[in-house]
A and B are shown apart, each in its own frame.
Chain A
């Protein structure tokens, strides 16, 4: 039962254009969402996050949008650069249970930005 889904395994974009990566979730108990970026042979690194009480968070070229009613979030990268080529994971934090706040990850989307 995949509670966080990234339905696009890959995305190819021209340099300078917008990249839009999508993520859907099913569990309404998720209260915080994060995007991680991963280069080959490295660990994931934190990119941007959003609380469930907001619908948008912006950090430079990166913006995350959250649509709670649709249980959908998206990451916009504008303008895209070749160095953005990586695997992008969305993750959701579970609000219930222990204080640990387990993260559930999507399958990842491979972004390729062509010069």
Chain B
């Protein structure tokens, strides 16, 4: 079991560029989510999904899009990158029964 995987590990973008952060899990978890971690702010929820085809906004969704076409994958799209989106991004998954979320290793994104 690879658990939750994220690619890339690091990315540098210029303002206005778009990109997709990839997330995949092999635990057959229904629930998946994206967080960003910023100094002094903890982890903040961007978007989440309770199953294939179902997504919803979290605490800080502006500037990000998600889709969930399969149970395994939950990509996060930055439509037009801004310096304020410089952060570390974590994908997480959990089963519908239970409370433990499993996190990926993170993607460190810098927007210049």
Contact = CB atoms under 8 A, between A and B. Distances in A.
Give the interface SS of chain B, mostly helix, strand, loop or mixed: strand
A43 B99 contact: no
Given A43-B4, A43-B104, A105 B31 contact: no
Given A41-B105, A43-B106, A100-B50, A105 B44 contact: yes
A103 B93 CA distance: 12
A62 to B, nearest CB: 15
B40 A107 contact: yes
Interface in A77-115: 89, 91, 93, 98-108
Interface in A1-34: 4, 6, 9, 32, 34
For chain B, give the interface size range: 20 to 34
B60 to A, nearest CB: 12
Nearest to B35: A105
Contact of B99 (A99, A101, A104): A101
